[in-house]
Structure 1
Amino acid sequence: STPIMVECIARGRLVGSGWREYQKTGTICGINLPDGMVQGDEIPGGPIFTPSTKAEEGHDENISFEQACEMVGRETAQKIKDSTLEIFAEAMKIASERGVILFDTKFEFGFLDGEIVLIDELLTPDSSRYSLAEDFKPGEPVVNLDKQYLRDWLDSSGWDHSPPAPDLPEEVVTNTRARYLEAYRRITGSSL
């Protein structure tokens, strides 16, 4: 497949980089949100599409839908937006039925034989933010079942994000693994 160079992020709640952007600007990727929202609040009107660049090096950068249209064409941008929101809405519903909150996720699409297809991972704890519903209260710290635990540890370790990454203590590896396995167990109903 040939990757479409826009990362497709769906957000159902205000967390992560979306929360940080909202705190600074009151918007996410050019989408105005009401004043007074707190971290973890549901996005009014349902999930939103917040694309970003697919950086070869460094960090991806949030962009507006119009910028995505300029990059990949309006028809392609609309198709990946619609697919992103449709898949995310179904995944949120399934997670909710199992007592899990799916806050946001990232999808990547590409072209294969002229058709738009999903590429890369799908709804894993590496590409999505999850929490158990019983552990979550808007405005309070989130107990994540995803990579955020590891990210937080790396940030608190003093690492400047330049290679090489620090060695991980066994406790961090064990706790990260346990979070991923709990997300899997709760969402699928099976254990590994």
Structure 2
Amino acid sequence: MSGFVEKPEPVQVPGLLHLHTGKVRDLYRNEAGDLVMVASDRVSAYDWVLPTEIPDKGRILTQLSLWWFEQLADLVPNHVISTEVPAGAPADWEGRTTVCRSLRMIPVECVARGYLTGSGLAEYEQARTVCGLALPEGLTDGSELPGPIFTPATKAAVGDHDENVSYEEVAREVGAETAAQLRQLTLAVYQRARDVALDRGIILADTKLEFGHGTGADDGIGVPAENHVGLFLGDEVLTPDSSRFWPADQWQPGRPQPSFDKQFVRDWLSGADSGWDRNGQLPPPPLPEKIVEQTRAKYVEAYSRLTGLDWA
């Protein structure tokens, strides 16, 4: 059992049609046919969307994604049209709203890994593979891989697990040409972001990307022809919700790494203090204030260290 502990009622705004409430984002369509994506302060863990929010989280995710989209603009086009808040929307939408082109999203989570951890580590310990890709002996939690690898996953609904799949399965699902493009773009984005982050003292262990096909006549505008393959980078990109960021000066293979994300939330929920049975039938409890504060501080630190900007 999983999902929302308390599913919020969508905000109704004149001229916007509510389409979907996700773990973090609410999606609308405006009268021009564009998508309006609003990042909330919701936080999820262990497939539950928790009843406690992390202040500023949605704004941090939005602003960090926008910064990364700029860093990657020469590699792949993205879905951003503007950050204008629609007329009649709540004041709280400021800084957390993105108006996006409508894409035909590809039903694949495009994951790039440069280090071994998480579900990749679990598979490696069983079979010395990740998504069917053979890896050398002797790797452990946090080990750097011989080179970045593309390890796709299925896209799951709220409350369900994404499941790792092989490249061959992706090719059967979306076609060989699209699969090859997804792999090439995912690894190119990862390698660019890895280098940018490392310059700032942060290891990008892995990241999850989403791509979609454009639907309009202007789909190639502003993109070098040699880099435009009809795919756009969508959703969020290279945030602590979609990536594992580790402080480089604390990296030590053989143990879980300190991270800039919601690990405080996971650790508290799985510890004795929460009183919650992860394998039981009851939803998780509200988060204590100190866990909220520590989690927010990690998101702020990730934003500031990556962008070089103070979070105001």
Q: Secondary structure at the match of 1:180?
A: helix
Q: Deviations over 1:28-81 (max 9, x none)?
A: 00001111111111111x110000001235101000000010111111111111
Is residue 75 of structure 1 aligned with residue 177 of structure 2?
Answer: yes
Q: How far has the Cα of 1:160 moved from its partner?
A: 2.9
Residue matched to 1:10: 112
Deviations 1:126-153 (A, max 9, x none): 0000111111111133111113332232
Determine the structure 2 residue equivalent to 1:182.
301
What is residue 139 of structure 1 aligned with on the other side? 254
**For residue 53 of structure 1, what is the amino acid of its counterpart?**
T
Is this contact kept in 2: 1:159–1:166, CA < 8 A? Answer: no
Q: Which residue of 1 aligns with 2:278?
A: 160
Does 1:112 pair with 2:214? yes
**Structure 2 counterpart of 1:177, which letter?**
R
Aligned mates of 1:159, 1:177 — CA distance in 2: 25
Write the letter of the residue equivalent to 1:43: L
Whole-angstrom CA distance in 1 between matches of 2:248 and 2:193: 15
1:151 equivalenced with 2:266 (yes/no) = yes
Q: What percentage of aligned pairs have identical amino acids?
A: 50
Instruction: Call closer, same or farther: CA 1:181–1:7 in 2, change over 3 Å.
Output: same
Which one-letter code corresponds to 1:178 in the other structure? A
Task: List runs of 5+ in structure 2 lacking aligned partners.
Answer: 1-102, 217-229
- Residue 106 of structure 1 aligns to a residue whose secondary structure is strand
Q: Which residue of 1 is the match for residue 165 of structure 2?
A: 63
Is it true that 1:26 corresponds to 2:144 in the alignment? no
**TM-score, normalized by length of structure 1?**
0.93
- Give the letter for the 1:70 counterpart: R
**Cα offset, 1:154, TM superposition:** 2.5
Matched to 2:156, the amino acid is A
Partner of 1:191: 310
**Following the alignment from structure 1 to structure 2, what is the Cα–Cα distance between the partners of residues 163 and 5?**
31
Q: How big is the shift at 1:23?
A: 1.1
Q: CA deviation at 1:7?
A: 0.4
1:66-110 Cα deviation digits (max 9, x unpaired): 001011111111111110000000000000011101100000111
Counterpart contact for 1:105–1:128, Cα < 8 Å? yes
Q: How far, CA to CA, are the matches of 1:159 and 1:103 in structure 2? A: 29
* Helix, strand or coil at the partner of 1:47: strand
Are the aligned partners of 2:110 and 2:150 in contact in 1 as well (CA < 8 Å)? yes
Structure 1, unmatched stretches of 5+, are: none
What is the TM-score of this pair, normalised by structure 2?
A: 0.59
The structure 2 residue matched to 1:126, chosen from 241, 244, 247, is: 241
Q: Give the letter aligned to residue 96 of structure 1.
A: L
Cα distance in 2 for partners of 1:120, 1:96 equals 24
CA distance in 1, matches of 2:115, 2:164: 16
Give the 3-state SS of the residue equivalent to 2:115 in structure 1. Answer: coil
